[in-house]
């Protein structure tokens, strides 16, 4: 197992390099001169030249990339053009807000999705199964932003509007009823994932329940509950785990909209603002950080996948 984790870690190195190259190219792929865009159309040539100098745009590309990589390794993501603060500081707390949002949403969607999927599979072709699957279909087809707006519409009366910063403060001094502030954004973000996981779990469970080894377990006199939760579920989770990993990625993307709708000051909103104001270093920083997070989550998924599926131990 440790050998596998080490090998898997080494495998992420090329991926990480790829990510940095992509993020680095961001600056150069946009049409026009980045320095000019940052400075504005009518800025004097001298000012543009200054910016170009500051961003190191006059160096050859490989030198620029080398510096960029070196800076990343030391945690230096450059400076925001707008606020002149280090990008790392800009991302700082916002990163944790987004991670928290994503993690809660993932937990909620895994929890709901698994339960709904298992019930559906065990009771398949009953009314309950049909109802769950219809709800899941709705959850799946509802656009994120629309669901968010609807939730605000219906719940804003009950003071369920989120105030993420106060939520962060609350958390420091115990939970209180700060959960109210998390509920809506987490529902907004987690619904689609829950639906996908529910459908995946159902079909995976149905397939597993038809397997010979489930009959073997029953023939041993194992209780039905244990047949389902021990013998079937562990096998059924193998494909579901992969979906959870992918879902988490989709969720990180989804935070952009959700944070905007609920006025949450996280990475998603930072990215949007940076794009709008052409603050390239910040865009690079947020994209880089989110990509790294995604790579990390996939690493976790692979490890847990491997933990469930003994068979891959062979290769």
Partner 1 sequence: MSTYKNILEVRNLQTSFFTDDGEVKAVDGVSFELPKGKTLGVVGESGSGKSITALSLLQLLSKPGKIKGGEILFKGKNLLDYTEKQMREIRGNDISMIFQEPMTSLNPVYTVGYQISESLMIHQNLNKREAKLKSIEMLKLVGIPSPEKRVDQYPFELSGGMRQRVMIAMALACNPDMLIADEPTTALDVTIQAQILDLIRELQAKLDMSVIMITHDLGVVAETCDYVAVMYAGQVVEFSDVRSLFKKPKHPYTVGLLKSLPRHDIEQEKLQPIKGTVPSPKEMPVGCRFSPRCPAATDLCRGRMPGLITDEQKNEIRCWIYSEEWDGDPEVNIYGEERIAEG
The partner residues of 86 in beta bridges, in order of sequence, read: 79
Residues of this chain, 220-249, that bind partner 1 according to CB under 8 A:
220-223, 231, 234-235
By beta-carbon proximity to partner 1, the closer residue of 199 and 231 is 231
Among 41, 177, 212, 315, binds partner 1 (CB under 8 A): 212
Q: Closest separation between CB of residue 219 and partner 1, Å?
A: 5
By beta-carbon proximity to partner 1, the closer residue of 95 and 305 is 305
Residues of this chain, 71-100, that bind partner 1 according to CB under 8 A:
none
Q: Closest separation between CB of residue 117 and partner 1, Å?
A: 18
Q: Give how many residues touch partner 1 by CB under 8 A.
A: 21
Among 111, 179, 213, 229, binds partner 1 (CB under 8 A): 213
Residue 215 binds partner 1, judged by CB under 8 A: yes
Phi, psi at 309, each rounded to 5°? -100, 95
By beta-carbon proximity to partner 1, the closer residue of 211 and 260 is 211
Q: Closest separation between CB of residue 143 and partner 1, Å?
A: 37
By beta-carbon proximity to partner 1, the closer residue of 10 and 314 is 314
Among 50, 242, 265, 309, binds partner 1 (CB under 8 A): 309
By beta-carbon proximity to partner 1, the closer residue of 53 and 224 is 224
List contacts with partner 1 (CB under 8 A). Answer: 210-213, 215-223, 231, 234-235, 308-311, 314
């Amino acid at each position: 197992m440790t050998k596998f984790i080490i090998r898997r870690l080494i495998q992420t190195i090329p991926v990480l390099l790829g990510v940095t190259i992509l993020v680095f190219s961001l600056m150069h792929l946009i049409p026009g001169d980045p320095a000019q865009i940052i400075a504005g159309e009518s800025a004097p040539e001298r000012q543009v030249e200054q910016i170009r100098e500051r961003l190191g745009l006059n160096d050859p590309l490989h030198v620029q990339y080398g510096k960029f990589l070196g800076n990343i390794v030391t945690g230096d993501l450059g400076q925001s053009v707008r606020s002149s603060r280090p990008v790392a500081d800009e991302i700082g707390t916002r990163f944790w807000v987004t991670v928290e949002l994503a993690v809660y949403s993932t937990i909620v969607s895994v929890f709901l999705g698994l339960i709904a999927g298992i019930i559906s599979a065990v009771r398949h072709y009953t009314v309950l199964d049909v109802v769950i699957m219809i709800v899941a279909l709705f959850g799946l087809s509802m656009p994120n932003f629309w669901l968010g707006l609807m939730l605000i519409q219906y719940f804003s009366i009950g003071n369920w509007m989120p105030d993420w910063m106060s939520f962060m403060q609350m958390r420091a001094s115990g939970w209180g009823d700060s959960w109210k502030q998390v509920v809506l954004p987490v529902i907004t973000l987690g619904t689609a994932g829950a639906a996908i996981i529910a459908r995946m779990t159902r079909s995976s469970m149905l397939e597993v329940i038809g397997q010979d080894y489930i009959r073997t377990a029953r023939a041993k006199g194992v209780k039905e509950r244990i047949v389902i939760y021990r013998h079937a579920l562990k096998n059924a989770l193998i494909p579901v785990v992969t979906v959870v990993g992918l879902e988490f990625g989709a969720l990180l993307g989804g935070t952009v909209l959700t944070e905007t709708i609920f006025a949450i000051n996280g990475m998603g909103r930072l990215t949007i603002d940076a794009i709008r104001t052409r603050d390239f270093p910040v865009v690079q920083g947020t994209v880089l950080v989110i990509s790294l997070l995604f790579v990390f989550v996939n690493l976790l998924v692979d490890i847990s996948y491997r933990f469930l599926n003994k068979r891959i131990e062979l290769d």
